[in-house]
Amino acid sequence: MPRAALLVAVLALAPGCDDADEAIRGEVQGLTLLEGSSVTPAAERLARHGRRALPPVEAALHTAEPAGRKNLILAIRKIGDGDAAPLLRHLALYDPAPDGRREAEWTLRSWAAEKGERGDRARAAMREVDERRAREETG
């Protein structure tokens, strides 16, 4: 099935689901397939579900293509939950695509500039990222 047809099928089925979690999973899967100007509005729609969307986003990160992972990282940023800091740390260190690593690190650094719990979690995650990279550079 062509990618566009699959996306249409996923998005068409998601709103009709009785279960909110199924709808979230549909939105997550759809987001992994989007490109261009449709990504941000889709990430914002997903963010309306709040932290409830984080487990399906994390699951989708394992199978998404690099562009899809970058879209999911944008959704994590828009969700804005500090509980995602360890996931972003992992992505900043290990995402196979440089764009994914940069997007995750950018999100953590922007959160780390904030006061409060989310900022604290992001600073802790960035310390780990920076320490790991420093160890890798020294040998």
**pLDDT score at 22:** 93
47 & 88 share domain: no
Over residues 28-32, the mean pLDDT reads 97
Final residue belonging to a domain, choices 79, 97, 123:
79
Same-domain check for residues 72 and 87: no
Mean pLDDT of 11-26: 71
Helix axis angle for 85-94 and 117-138, nearest 10°, is 20
Which are the contacts of 8, defined by CB distance < 8 A and separation ≥ 6?
Answer: none
- Give the pLDDT of residue 2: 57
For 122-133, the DSSP string reads HHHHHHHHHHHH
Residue 18 has pLDDT above 90, yes or no: no
Looking at the structure, do residues 74 and 102 belong to the same domain, yes or no?
no
Domain that holds residue 68: 1-79
Distance CA 100, CA 91 (A): 7
- Rounded Cα–Cα distance for residues 106 and 128 (Å): 15
The whole-model pTM stands at 0.84
What is the per-residue pLDDT across 93-107, written as a single tens digit (0 to 9) for each? 999 999 999 999 999
Same domain, 11 and 65: yes
The number of domains in the chain is 2
The residues, any chain, with a CB within 8 Å of residue 14's CB and separated by 6 or more, are 22, 23, 25, 26, 27, 30
Q: Inform me whether the pLDDT recorded for 92 exceeds 90.
A: yes
Measured from the Cβ of residue 34, the count of other Cβ atoms closer than 10 Å reads: 19
* Pair (18, 72) in one structural domain: yes
Whose structure tokens read 């009785």?
A: 18
pLDDT value of position 1:
47
